[in-house]
């Protein structure tokens, strides 16, 4: 297993920002993953997994860590009866495709979540009233200290939260699905995708939701819209004119531009509504939201 140096995170994140990584490993098997973790330990480096990079913002100066991307066997998907078994690096799109081909439903909610199985567990990603905790049977978590299968309760899943910490890699995921006709799945997905297109930017470079929805009736998007932030721009980053809880790379954005927009959004939400917004996006490489 080889290690690459200096690869820009801008190439691995959906927002398209982020500086070079200290080291990048692309393990294809559990053995290679363990080798990568030993390498990081030997070099004294933190281990950061990047899936599709669809909910991360990485420092422009880069990240002093071993970045791991799961490929090969660790991104494969198969079905066993009504269980879908996915490598941690398998994309949600491939999982959904395989589930539909096998006549298994229950994963349609993930159709517009552009991430991987492992990223879904870490974020307890969700949409349309369902999240990973509804379909997850167990996840194989590997770290420098060893590996083991963890059930949802042990992963401490709640709204866009898990108890997973730096250095823990979700290498495999098992989902429990239910028999459903492929045409029914197709129709449901088409409906959910259409609903998404009406309300959120779908063809822009973003990292998904910037902030978690605060308690109460007003979601983060509606709140920031009332703060007059739609279309607000700093440098190359702008608050989406379509949905105020998204930041778009409008051309040449840096991560610092995105952070500056987040600071402004939090300030206005605090001053105008007395709400302290909590970020959903994961920061890599020492970025901070003061």
Ligand X SMILES: Cc1cc2nc3c(=O)[nH]c(=O)nc-3n(C[C@H](O)[C@H](O)[C@H](O)COP(=O)(O)OP(=O)(O)OC[C@H]3O[C@@H](n4cnc5c(N)ncnc54)[C@H](O)[C@@H]3O)c2cc1C
Nearest partner of 87 among 142, 126, 46, 45, judged by Cα: 142
Measured from the CB atom, the residue of 18 and 51 that comes closer to ligand X is 51
Nearest partner of 88 among 107, 115, 48, judged by Cα: 115
The reply to whether 280 belongs to the active site is yes
Measured from the CB atom, the residue of 116 and 255 that comes closer to ligand X is 116
- Least separation in angstroms between residue 271's CB and ligand X is 27
Which residues on adjacent β-strands are paired with residue 158?
161
The reply to whether 160 belongs to the active site is yes
Under the binding rule (CB under 6 A), the answer on residue 106 touching ligand X is no
Under the binding rule (CB under 6 A), the answer on residue 59 touching ligand X is no
Stretch that binds ligand X, among 3-11, 93-101, 178-186, 206-214 (CB under 6 A): 206-214
Nearest partner of 108 among 128, 89, 124, 125, judged by Cα: 128
Place of tokens 């820009």: 8
132 CB contacts (<8 Å, ≥6 apart)? 120, 121, 123, 124, 125, 126, 152, 157
User: Which residues, numbered 129-168, are part of the site for ligand X (CB under 6 A)?
Assistant: 164, 168
User: Which residues, numbered 115-134, are part of the site for ligand X (CB under 6 A)?
Assistant: 115-116, 118-120, 122-123, 125-127
- Least separation in angstroms between residue 283's CB and ligand X is 9
- Least separation in angstroms between residue 282's CB and ligand X is 4
Q: Supply 258's token pair.
A: 């995105």
User: Which residues, numbered 221-280, are part of the site for ligand X (CB under 6 A)?
Assistant: none
Report the SS3 class of residue 82: coil
CA dihedral for 269, 246, 211, 10, sign (positive or negative): negative
Proportion of the chain in helix, strand, coil states, percent, rounded to 5: 35, 25, 40
Which one is catalytic: 32, 108, 248, 280? 280
- Least separation in angstroms between residue 110's CB and ligand X is 8
Give catalytic residues, as residue numbers.
Answer: 160, 209, 280
Q: Which residues bind ligand X (CB under 6 A)?
A: 14, 48-56, 70, 88, 112-116, 118-120, 122-123, 125-127, 164, 168-170, 206-208, 282
């Amino acid at each position: 297993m080889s290690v690459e140096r200096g690869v820009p995170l801008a190439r691995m994140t959906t927002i398209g920002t982020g500086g070079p990584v200290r080291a990048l490993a692309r393990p294809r098997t559990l053995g290679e993953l363990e080798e990568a973790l030993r390498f990081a330990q030997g070099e004294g480096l933190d281990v950061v997994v990047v899936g599709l990079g669809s909910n991360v913002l990485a420092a422009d100066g880069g990240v002093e860590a071993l970045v791991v991307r799961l490929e090969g066997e660790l991104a494969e998907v198969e079905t066993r009866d009504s269980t879908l078994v996915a490598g941690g690096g398998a994309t949600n799109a491939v999982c959904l495709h395989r589930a539909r081909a096998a006549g298994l439903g229950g994963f349609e909610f993930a159709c517009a979540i552009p991430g991987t199985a492992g990223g879904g567990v870490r974020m307890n990603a969700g949409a349309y009233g369902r999240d990973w905790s509804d379909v997850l049977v167990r996840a194989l978590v590997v770290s420098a200290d060893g590996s083991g299968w963890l059930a949802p309760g042990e992963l401490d899943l709640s709204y866009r939260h898990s108890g997973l910490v730096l250095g823990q890699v979700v290498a495999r995921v098992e989902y429990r699905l239910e028999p459903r006709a492929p045409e029914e799945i197709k129709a449901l997905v088409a409906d959910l995708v259409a609903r998404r297109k009406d309300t959120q930017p779908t063809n822009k470079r973003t990292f998904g939701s910037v902030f978690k929805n605060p308690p109460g009736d007003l979601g983060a998007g509606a709140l920031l819209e009332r703060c007059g932030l739609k279309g607000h721009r700093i440098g190359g980053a702008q608050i989406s004119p379509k949905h105020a809880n998204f930041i778009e790379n409008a051309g040449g954005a840096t991560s610092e531009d995105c952070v500056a927009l987040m600071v402004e959004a939090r300030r206005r939400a605090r001053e105008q509504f007395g709400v302290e917004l909590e970020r959903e996006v994961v920061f890599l490489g020492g970025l901070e939201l003061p």
